[in-house]
């Protein structure tokens, strides 16, 4: 049995090898929602918020980036980060420094961030996946890739809209059944 959920490993690969922060959000949020009682739930939320912060930052949405990063710092629990194979103190310090940069309008240039992994087996799993899929671990963001930078505005929203409508209909049915 694998020590970490595959969704978390996928998150790390999207984060470090593709710099696809939108996909980081998608994959870990789906897992988090499907596992509401997971012990690391708030830490997953914090990791999602880190990815969303970087996504916003790369798009020059500094207010969104700052808001998400501040929230992430409150969600991330050191004990959970350690259990997820992350160097908690180094990560938290890095995020705090990034927040200071965001607070300074003259110094907001986007820079990739790496999550400091403490578990060599976890990093080996990620590196193996990268090797198998011809990805480069800790590659820089391709800032010329419009699909990567503006993914949320360019993606097909039809499945999301259908799912929201299905959920709305289910709630209406549930209300009718109760009343």
Q: Is the pTM of this model over 0.75?
A: yes
Residue 114's pLDDT is 98
Distance CA 137, CA 117 (A): 13
Q: pLDDT for 144-177, tens place per residue?
A: 888 888 866 666 556 656 777 777 788 888 888 8
Q: What percent of the chain has pLDDT over 90?
A: 74
Tell me the two tokens of residue 6: 């595959």
Give yes or no for a contact between 95 and 50, defined as CB atoms under 8 angstroms apart.
yes
Residue 158's pLDDT is 61
């Amino acid at each position: 049995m694998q020590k970490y959920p595959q969704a978390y490993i996928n998150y790390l690969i999207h984060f470090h090898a593709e710099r696809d922060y939108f996909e980081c959000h998608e994959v870990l949020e789906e897992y988090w929602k499907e596992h509401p009682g997971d012990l690391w739930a708030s830490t997953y939320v914090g990791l999602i918020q880190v990815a969303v912060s970087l996504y916003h930052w790369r798009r020059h949405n500094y207010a969104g980036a700052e808001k998400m990063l501040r929230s992430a710092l409150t969600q991330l629990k050191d004990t959970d980060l350690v259990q997820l194979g992350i160097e908690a103190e180094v990560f938290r310090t890095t995020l705090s420094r990034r927040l200071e940069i965001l607070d300074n309008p003259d110094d907001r240039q986007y820079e990739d961030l790496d999550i400091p992994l403490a578990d060599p087996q976890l990093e080996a799993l990620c590196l193996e996946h990268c090797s198998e899929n011809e990805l480069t671990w800790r590659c820089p963001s391709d800032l010329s890739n419009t699909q990567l930078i503006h993914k949320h505005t360019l993606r097909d929203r039809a499945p999301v809209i259908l799912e929201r409508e299905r959920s709305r209909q289910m709630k209406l049915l549930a209300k009718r059944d109760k009343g």
